[in-house]
Amino acid sequence: MTKYLLLPSSLFFLISPFLLLPSSLFLLSVTAAPKIIFPTCPRNEISKLPQPPLSQTQPSIPSLWLTQDFFGEELIYTWFVDSDDAWVILVVRKLNWDNKGYIERYKFINHFGNVARQYGYNLQVCEPRNKKPIAAYFCDFENPPLNCDVEIDYRFGRSLFSSPKDFEFITNTTE
């Protein structure tokens, strides 16, 4: 039997702008645990970040070089594998990232995420000196069938609802 934890409405008002839930109370499972723990983005200067894996004697694992050349040359400062050896961290140029629309960001993350997944890695996208990730592609490698998710911006403190849209909303009005 699942037990639930009742949160007071005062706590809900503090977190409701992030969750966009309509009720003043909500229930969380006491046994619920986060599946994915996102590493903290590096806050060092670009020159002090770890280098991507490169081998002159065998293929580099993971090998994102070709993907970077085709899909991310103007966006990526660098990429590397984090110290836990579970995540590929992409560090992107903030201005170029901000100029991309949602679909372009999704395609970028999906391309790199698919390659990282083939090598058994999750993917995280970071901006220089920003502690929180701006996007991620992550999979549950432990439980078949393989289930992967893409998260962009809003989970990490920004809302896509406040972003300008490139399309018009059609409203039905009678005159």
Residue span of the structural domain in which 23 resides:
1-33
- Are 47 and 127 within one domain? yes
78 and 47 Cβ atoms separated by less than 8 Å: no
- Are 18 and 73 within one domain? no
Residue 10's Cβ-side half-sphere holds a number of Cα atoms within 13 Å equal to 0
- Are 11 and 43 within one domain? no
Assign 142 a pLDDT band (cuts: 50, 70, 90). confident
- Are 129 and 52 within one domain? yes
- Are 70 and 16 within one domain? no
pLDDT digits (tens, 9 = 90+) for 15-63: 444 444 443 333 333 443 445 667 777 776 665 665 665 555 545 566 7
- Are 2 and 57 within one domain? no
Query: What are the CA-CA distances from residue 104 to residues 39, 151, 152 (Å)?
Result: 24, 14, 11
- Are 17 and 65 within one domain? no
Q: Does 9 map to a domain?
A: yes
111 and 88 Cβ atoms separated by less than 8 Å: no
CA 130 to chain centre: 13
Tokens of 131: 């502690």
CA distance 172 to 133: 39
The model carries a pTM of: 0.61
Q: How many domains does the chain have?
A: 2
- Are 98 and 112 within one domain? yes
